[in-house]
Amino acid sequence: MAVQGKNILGKRIQALRKAAKPRVSQEDLVARLAARGIYLDRTGLARIENEDRFLRDYEIEAIAKALKVPVADLFKRGSYAQ
């Protein structure tokens, strides 16, 4: 499998964010990350979701916690619920 972007998690993060009940906006996720000490603006999050920005390991962990999912869920392949 060839990697097209700078990360393989962006689309999955976006899908999990949108599938959350209630739905989590990019602004909401950025605020949740800031509360955990991860300072990322909405543009940075959009770049992650568009696979145009690398992710650090601690950002992956914080995103999973902010979305209330196990880290492993970010790595699941397959359909991306919208």
Q: Which residue has the tokens 């300072």?
A: 39
Q: Which residue has the tokens 């602004």?
A: 27
Close Cβ partners of 8 (under 8 Å, ≥ 6 residues apart) = 51, 75
* Cβ atoms of residues 66 and 45 within 8 Å: no
Q: Which domains does the chain carry?
A: 10-69 (1.10.260)
Cα→Cα distances 38→3, 27, 30, 82, Å: 26, 13, 8, 25
Rg (CA), the chain: 12
pTM to 2 decimals? 0.88
Mean pLDDT within 9-30: 96
Span 24-68, pLDDT tens digits: 999 999 999 999 999 999 999 999 999 999 999 999 999 999 999
pLDDT score, position 80: 52
